[in-house]
Structure formats: C-alpha cells, structure tokens
Copies of this chain bind each other. A is one copy, B any other.
C-alpha cells in the first residue's frame, strides 16, 4: 500500500513509509508537473497577453445586432429596459386595448410564439433566437379568454413593481392571485409571454430568480449603493444579487474571469486566495447556472472586457453547463442576448487532461449510458461544432467512456489544483 500512497504524492503518507525509496518514474508525476512551472512573472506575462487581446478585440461586447445581420424583421429579442420605460410600454399596450374596446372591437394581444419550432440558432451570434411567429390572444375568444385575463393581471402587477421599483420572485407573483392563476406554471408561462410581448428582459420586469451564485476576487462594484470589494469577502465570497440592475460601477484589475462549475473548487480557490497570485475574478453558480449568475457574468465580461476561462468537470454535464452560459437555455431563447456570454474558453478539466496529467485510473469514473447519449447529442450541437478543439475533446470523452470531476485532482494533494494544475494550464495557454 505504501507504494500506492507514495505514487499519490501524499506528503503525510510518504513520511510514514520510510522503508521504500522515492523513484523518479511516472509514480512521481505530480512533482514532475510542479517542476515544469516557471516563475509567476512569466505566467502573468502570458495572462497579460490574453487580457490585452480581449481588451482590443472588436468582438468583445460588440456582437452584431439582429438588424446588422438583416434579421430584425424575421427574428426578435428582448432588451434591458429601465422601470420607467417598462411602465410606458405597459401603459401603451393598455391604452391600445382601451381604444380597441371603445371602438367596439374588444381587445387582444399579439403574443410571440416561444415554441422550439419558432427558435433558430444564429451562427453569427452563436446563440438561439426567436423567429417572428406570433399568435393573437383575444379576450373575446373562449379558448384564449383565460390567458388574456392572466396577461392583463400580470401587466398590472408588473406596472406596480416598476412604479415602486421593488423586485419579487415568480412565486410572489403567483400568490397575488391564486384563484386566477390556479397554479404557478400558468403565471410563469404568461410571464415569459409578457416579457417577449413587451420586448423587455424578465429582470427588467423586476421579477427575479433566487440567487445561488457567489463571487470572490479582484472586483469592486456597488450594489444598491453599497460598495462591495470582492477581495475582502473572506473565503465565503459575496452572494451574487438576484437583481443585477442593482449592480453598478464595476472596477477590476483582474486579467481574467475564472468560471468554476462547483463550490468545492470555488472554496479551494478562495481559501488559497488564488486571485492574489493571478489577478482574476472567481465566480460559480454552484452547478446549473441560474439567471442571476448568468446576468452577472455577462455584465462583468461586457463592462470589464475580460476573457473568461472555465473550469468544469470533464463530463457531458460540465459541457452542458458551459452551453447554458454560452448559448442559453431553450425556454428562454427570447432573452438569449442578455443572458449569454459567448466566447468562453474551456480551460479544464478536459478529457485530454486525464492522460496528460496522469489522473490515476481509479479517480476516473465510467460514463453511464445516459452520459454517452448526452455526449453524442452534444457533438451535434452548434456551439460544439464550431470549434475543432471542442469536437476532438468531446470525441475523446465519448471514445474513452471516461469522465472525471475537478476534485479528482485532490488525489495529488488538496492544493494541487491551485498550486500546480491551474498555474501550469495558464502558463501553457492550455485553453481552447
């Protein structure tokens, strides 16, 4: 057993197995990689190049609009609007309805279809957008009177939220009129309709999702007037607020944003104050990305013009998470321009890392049938296909049928992630 323990590079175990000699073969691979590390100044120079490229890049923050692509008549999307603008839009639509009633024509709304048949992937934008199909929701039709009533009720509630400028959850909205809405799926669905109909993002409507993400590192911002310095947030970090419009005045001397899939890795990076050694902002949604974290990432990337490097598990689920950050989820495709951060670089853990960094066999996990199916499905996704590197990595995963979590690196010592793996990755520009 001492042989195996020593191979793991575990100092405690190595110390206790005095009888065996240290050999310099593959078993000491962790040390091997550590020895490849150059001084931090060299790694920092590499990061400065990456940073400079991002700052000068014309693509960052300046994605072509639908109009520039000649798609404005056939596609639609929503935009961030301030509460006053939302109020006016609502008032306009209600005035139009009143006028229509006075003219003896009853009233109706033209509601964009959000079905997948009305969605399209636009390669130039690298995300899904809604096509222009709409349907008429009339108060005088038996089949749509309920939905029309719910729509009017939500318009009134949102008007109230924007007047007071307070934020509520979808659950709060539901409870304002349980008898009408009956169950929350109905008010949620119409809320998305209203968002599309008004051309405003859901967060512009002051309806927010619950917060889940945390951020730590070289970022200062104001939140509802409070100045938040994320280098002084201990190891727990700052909770990302549910309403990103309360966030302003972002400042940073970071060279990049490190997007982390899971909170265990986040904790390691925060406790080791990784951002002090390599100036960066570390952010995680603790698994499946929520809307607040996606908006926050987008805002950081756009305002600070920083490159985003992603650290996720080497499994199809890790890639799925990246796809949500990059391309959005299908049921909110009307809002994809505000929620998505294209151009995220895949730093690790990549399938090719498993052999490259000699992750022991027993720390790799076999992929389940479901994993394999998801992996093969991902190979058909546009966001994967546009990059040869991503396709090769994913093919390797599906072919070797092996996956690994970020934490598999703990096999080489708890701080291997922060002290060897990530610095080496950065030094060698090993992102795709």
A178-B235 contact in complex given A12-B160, A166-B271, C-beta closer than 8 Å? no
B223 engages A235 (CB within 8 Å): yes
Copies of this chain, complex-wide, total 2
A414 engages B224 (CB within 8 Å): no
A264-B363 contact in complex given A12-B160, A239-B237, A411-B178, C-beta closer than 8 Å? no
Contacts of A409 in B (CB 8 A): 175
CA distance A354 to B160 in the complex (A): 26
A211-B236 contact in complex given A16-B156, A267-B167, C-beta closer than 8 Å? yes
A156 engages B12 (CB within 8 Å): yes
B234 engages A363 (CB within 8 Å): no
CA distance A247 to B238 in the complex (A): 15
CA distance A208 to B271 in the complex (A): 12
A405-B175 contact in complex given A166-B415, A228-B234, C-beta closer than 8 Å? yes
A264-B169 contact in complex given A10-B176, A11-B160, A405-B175, C-beta closer than 8 Å? yes
CA distance A5 to B227 in the complex (A): 40
Task: For chain A, residues 235 to 270, give those with C-beta under 8 angstroms from any C-beta of chain B.
Answer: 235-243, 246-247, 263-264, 267-268
A8 within 8 A of B: yes
Task: For chain A, residues 393 to 432, give those with C-beta under 8 angstroms from any C-beta of chain B.
Answer: 405, 407-411, 414-415
A38 within 8 A of B: no
Contacts of A44 in B (CB 8 A): none
Contacts of A223 in B (CB 8 A): 233-236
Contacts of A360 in B (CB 8 A): 178-179
Contacts of A241 in B (CB 8 A): 234-236
The residue of chain B having its C-beta at the shortest distance from the C-beta of A411 within the complex is B175
The residue of chain B having its C-beta at the shortest distance from the C-beta of A179 within the complex is B362
B242 engages A234 (CB within 8 Å): no
A294 within 8 A of B: no
The residue of chain B having its C-beta at the shortest distance from the C-beta of A155 within the complex is B12
Task: For chain A, residues 148 to 198, give those with C-beta under 8 angstroms from any C-beta of chain B.
Answer: 149, 156-157, 159-161, 164, 166-169, 171-180
CA distance A74 to B267 in the complex (A): 39
A13 within 8 A of B: yes
A235-B227 contact in complex given A175-B408, A210-B267, A410-B168, C-beta closer than 8 Å? no
A286 within 8 A of B: yes
A264-B171 contact in complex given A235-B246, A236-B242, A242-B236, C-beta closer than 8 Å? yes
A167-B271 contact in complex given A172-B264, A410-B175, C-beta closer than 8 Å? yes
Task: For chain A, residues 118 to 170, give those with C-beta under 8 angstroms from any C-beta of chain B.
Answer: 149, 156-157, 159-161, 164, 166-169
Contacts of A237 in B (CB 8 A): 239
A176 engages B411 (CB within 8 Å): yes
A103 within 8 A of B: no
- 15 additional A-B pairs beyond A172-B414, A236-B238, A238-B238, beta carbons within 8 Å, are A10-B157, A12-B157, A12-B159, A160-B414, A175-B408, A175-B411, A176-B411, A210-B267, A210-B286, A222-B234, A228-B233, A234-B246, A235-B242, A236-B239, A242-B263
10 interchain pairs (CB within 8 A)?
A1-B149, A167-B235, A167-B267, A168-B264, A178-B360, A225-B234, A228-B233, A235-B242, A236-B238, A242-B263
